[in-house]
Structure 1
Amino acid sequence: MRLHRNLCFAVIDGLTLIFNEGKYADKVIQQLLKRDKRWGARDRGFVAETTYEMVRWKRLYAEIAEVKEPFDRDNLWRMFAVWATLKGVKLPDWKYFEGTPLRRIKGRFDELSNNRKFKESIPDWMDEIGVKELGKELWSKEIEALNQQADVILRVNTLKTTKEALQTVLFDLDIETDFVPNHPSALKLKERANVFSTEAFQSGHFEVQDASSQLVAEFLNVEPGMRVVDACAGAGGKTLHLAALMENKGQIIAMDIYGNKLNELKRRAKRNGAHNIENRAIESTKVIKKLYDKADRVLIDAPCSGLGVLRRNPDAKWKLQPEFIEKIKKTQQEILQQYSKMVKVGGQMVYATCSVLPSENQDQVKTFLNSEAGENFTLVKDKKVLAHKSGFDGFYMALLERK
């Protein structure tokens, strides 16, 4: 691989914004990719993947480069030299790389590989909470898997097409895909590609959604004609999946405390041809109370630490704080207590998170079932998806029934 100056500068500029100004990596990369219209797919891939890679391994690279935050540009070039050296990329004869100690970098990497906090490039507190909740052996496997680059998984929109038909359409565009066992609507890209520019995407034939995330809507046992509430809908990835599973029949009430996210869902629903979705912003408790005892199914895709999706959000390792996890656990229980009241007798509810921590998952369900609000519910089944076993995001889902 030959390094090109303008691409490397883009990476350094991006890292400055992410590390020093707290900007979100995905938003920064979106902007970087608009920088030069002459860049081809390979150039854009280099900028995106190298930036993500350096964000993912920030602690390890900074330790090897012997630099501390806030990073000035010289510090970032030193970290870049570490990345290149460990990747086996030949450093060009640029002033930024003068005096790079190649052997020392490799030796330091070997030394630090014996310490999980550096090897997996995570903050001390995150390592401690992982060991405490999952045990040393399981946490070591899981955090290693969460540091891998995520595959691109599509969810076929069955309101408009079939898995086989979409696979053929993409194949004609030189985008090869595989079926994913036990995921009825999933296609996995064999190689990364810009699927958003395809006519199939613009016509609403698929959404990009991780395989683990696709299990959640199916877990809810919806049927055409039901009244279903997606209580923390966000921009609606799972809402759209529910609409497809319900064949556009019945009613889905998509709720969220953020109205702007529901606006995005409205746009996506139009593209998907999903007509049975009604958006309701949660501006007060009245919105919830109006639906008490009215829903056949309720989905609570609860706000969480996001520790199961670090593969696609590596900057969360540096943004997340232990206080946030304690705070979000209180919110999760409050949501369970209030939103469960929307389930009618005989109805079902799924509580789901994209976290791998039992304290956000099984423990929350247990606390709920032991509470007054949960005394009329029973746990039908639950599913724990770990990244090192599935190869996809870490997720948890529990199906509860109101007696």
Structure 2
Amino acid sequence: MNTREIAVKILCEFEKDLKIKPHFERLTKNLSFKDRSFVREIVSGSVRFLKLLDFSIEKVSGKNQKKQHPAVRNSLRILAYQIFFMSVPLYAAINETVEAVKHFRKKAAGFVNAVGKKLINFDYKAEIEKIPDFYERISTLYSFENWMVKRWHRFYEDELVSILSFLNRTAPLYIRINTLKVKVSDYLKFLEESGIEFEVHPFIKEMVRIKGKVDIQSLPGYADGFFYIQDVASYLSALLLSPQKGKKILDIAAAPGGKTTAIAALVENEADIIAVDVDSERLKLLDRNLEKLGVNCVKTLKTDITKENPFTENSFDRVLLDAPCSGTGIIRRHPEGKWNKSLSLIKHNQKLEKALLKEAFKLLKPGGTLLYSVCSLEREEGEEIVNFALNIGFKKRDFDIKFEEIGVKGSMARVFPHKQGTDGFFYAIFTK
């Protein structure tokens, strides 16, 4: 299959389970970096702008997208995405997509060709402006579910459009230099010598943004564990915990280990860290990351502390609870998150977060510190959890480390793509 055929196939699989990664990895493993990048962009973009693309296709074709054959429906989506958002020559976008659909549904080639030609001159912005309802208009233009747009408007008011717009942007690639293996200054020299364009974070020196499209495996020290791919917002969870050498630290829901390994680096492998998770496969990945990054102060354990808490009460000086959540703050990295969320999922997550906090309270030493974080924009998983924590006995305290440049101060904070350029995260810090 050529790249567009693969993209169509991935999107057909996506429709079945609303997942991208497993299908992408399986169907592109034999492609070159360049072709994988093309397929990734066309698939992620089509999922990101699904509602807008379907609106436009239905307008020019007069046909309901839901009634189309899956391969035809998704061929039209990748074609519309190329025409609207990519710099692919128009004749190539149409011709190559028509050839792709022939692989699945030969008799649909003429239809796809005709729709493509109509899309070239279609002004989707002007057509969307005609939609009378505000929420339907905004949710179509930015391609989000109506219920998401309504609740974020209630939460964030005038910031709504900025939030939607920035969640639609491709997330930057940040790496955390692994100071257990290499000095920051030395690694920056390696990047320079390799001709890699990069930018050091303005106030977190070990965080580096890699510019342009780069094959991760081509970065210096990839095989040696010199870096870990991690967004600044994720790293902040470890920083704000303010871990100390010689202390006993618990990382709950730790896999695949981005924050666990960050904590280990911050204490220079001189702490007693226990990382727990309920997922065996993700724990295996965590163990591999520990080994690759040279972390030797972490013990891993498969357990669900809400059902079988194996630890003694008042055991830990520090607890990090980066809780399972809806993930609405990382939609720019996972555009499928627009379509696989629900209010019931948010409520389910809130129950789980509360249950984890209850157990974590028992395990924290009096005077100890717990850092709660979620990659979520939802108030139920952020501010409402703070109220719950205070009700069960936690006490507010201020962050030891403050990042006032990005508004992280006091005892809780939110960061956003449109404000801080990070993933959307919520943090709160407590003592007992």
Pick closer, same or farther for the CA change 1:285–1:85 going to 2, 3 Å.
Answer: closer
How far apart, CA to CA, are the structure 2 residues paired with 1:172 and 1:31?
34
Aligned residues of 2:305 and 2:356 also touching (Cα < 8 A) = no
Higher mean displacement: 97-106 or 323-332 = 97-106
Quick check: 1:60 aligned with 2:76?
no
Displacement of 1:9 in angstroms is: 1.2
How far apart, CA to CA, are the structure 1 residues paired with 2:369 and 2:305?
24
How far apart, CA to CA, are the structure 2 residues paired with 1:131 and 1:77?
33
Determine the structure 2 residue equivalent to 1:107.
123
Pairs within 5 Å for 1:303-322? 303-322=324-343
**Local SS of the residue matching 2:339:** helix
Amino acid at match of 2:139: K
Determine the structure 2 residue equivalent to 1:298.
319
Determine the structure 2 residue equivalent to 1:280.
301
Determine the structure 1 residue equivalent to 2:83.
85
User: For residues 283-333 of structure 1, what are the alpha-carbon distances to aligned partners after superposition, in whole Å with 9 as ceiling and x for unaligned?
Assistant: 565853523201110000011110100011100111112211111111111
Determine the structure 2 residue equivalent to 1:373.
393
Amino acid at match of 2:397: L
Displacement of 1:346 in angstroms is: 1.4
Determine the structure 2 residue equivalent to 1:385.
415
Quick check: 1:44 aligned with 2:44?
no
User: For residues 71-102 of structure 1, what are the alpha-carbon distances to aligned partners after superposition, in whole Å with 9 as ceiling and x for unaligned?
Assistant: 52122222222112213531344446421343
Supply the RMSD in Å over aligned alpha carbons: 2.0
Quick check: 1:126 aligned with 2:148?
yes
Q: Of residues 20, 29, 36 in structure 1, which corresponds to 2:24?
A: 29
Q: Of residues 177, 182, 187 in structure 2, which corresponds to 1:161?
A: 182
Higher mean displacement: 257-266 or 285-294 = 285-294
How far apart, CA to CA, are the structure 2 residues paired with 1:72 and 1:91?
23
Amino acid at match of 1:384: R
**Local SS of the residue matching 2:114:** coil
- Report the identity percentage: 25
What is the TM-score normalised by the length of structure 2?
A: 0.85
Determine the structure 1 residue equivalent to 2:376.
355
How far apart, CA to CA, are the structure 1 residues paired with 2:376 and 2:338?
13
Quick check: 1:266 aligned with 2:293?
no
Amino acid at match of 1:11: A
Amino acid at match of 1:33: T
Amino acid at match of 1:47: V
Determine the structure 2 residue equivalent to 1:195.
216
How far apart, CA to CA, are the structure 2 residues paired with 1:9 and 1:151?
27
Aligned residues of 1:133 and 1:359 also touching (Cα < 8 A) = no
Displacement of 1:198 in angstroms is: 4.3
**Local SS of the residue matching 2:190:** helix
Displacement of 1:276 in angstroms is: 0.3
Pick closer, same or farther for the CA change 1:285–1:55 going to 2, 3 Å.
Answer: closer
Q: Of residues 113, 118, 134 in structure 2, which corresponds to 1:98?
A: 113
Aligned residues of 1:61 and 1:79 also touching (Cα < 8 A) = yes
Aligned residues of 2:18 and 2:339 also touching (Cα < 8 A) = no
Determine the structure 1 residue equivalent to 2:103.
none
Aligned residues of 1:258 and 1:281 also touching (Cα < 8 A) = yes
User: For residues 102-128 of structure 1, what are the alpha-carbon distances to aligned partners after superposition, in whole Å with 9 as ceiling and x for unaligned?
Assistant: 367622343226721011101112112
Displacement of 1:14 in angstroms is: 1.2
Aligned residues of 1:117 and 1:124 also touching (Cα < 8 A) = yes
Amino acid at match of 2:427: M
Q: Of residues 193, 199, 211 in structure 1, which corresponds to 2:232?
A: 211
Aligned residues of 1:309 and 1:394 also touching (Cα < 8 A) = yes
Amino acid at match of 1:56: R
User: For residues 311-362 of structure 1, what are the alpha-carbon distances to aligned partners after superposition, in whole Å with 9 as ceiling and x for unaligned?
Assistant: 1110011111221111111111121122122110111000100012222112
Pick closer, same or farther for the CA change 1:176–1:351 going to 2, 3 Å.
Answer: same
Pick closer, same or farther for the CA change 1:29–1:215 going to 2, 3 Å.
Answer: same
Amino acid at match of 2:42: T
Pick closer, same or farther for the CA change 1:26–1:373 going to 2, 3 Å.
Answer: same
Aligned residues of 1:134 and 1:357 also touching (Cα < 8 A) = no
Amino acid at match of 2:123: G
Q: Of residues 138, 147, 162 in structure 2, which corresponds to 1:141?
A: 162
Amino acid at match of 1:49: E
**Local SS of the residue matching 2:123:** helix
What is the TM-score normalised by the length of structure 1?
A: 0.91
Aligned residues of 2:329 and 2:375 also touching (Cα < 8 A) = yes
How far apart, CA to CA, are the structure 1 residues paired with 2:141 and 2:369?
43
Unaligned runs of 5+ residues in structure 2 are 59-63, 99-108, 132-136, 399-410
Displacement of 1:263 in angstroms is: 1.7
How far apart, CA to CA, are the structure 2 residues paired with 1:231 and 1:324?
20
Higher mean displacement: 296-305 or 21-30 = 21-30
How far apart, CA to CA, are the structure 2 residues paired with 1:63 and 1:145?
21
Determine the structure 1 residue equivalent to 2:4.
8
User: For residues 15-45 of structure 1, what are the alpha-carbon distances to aligned partners after superposition, in whole Å with 9 as ceiling and x for unaligned?
Assistant: 11112x2152122222232244xx3x33221
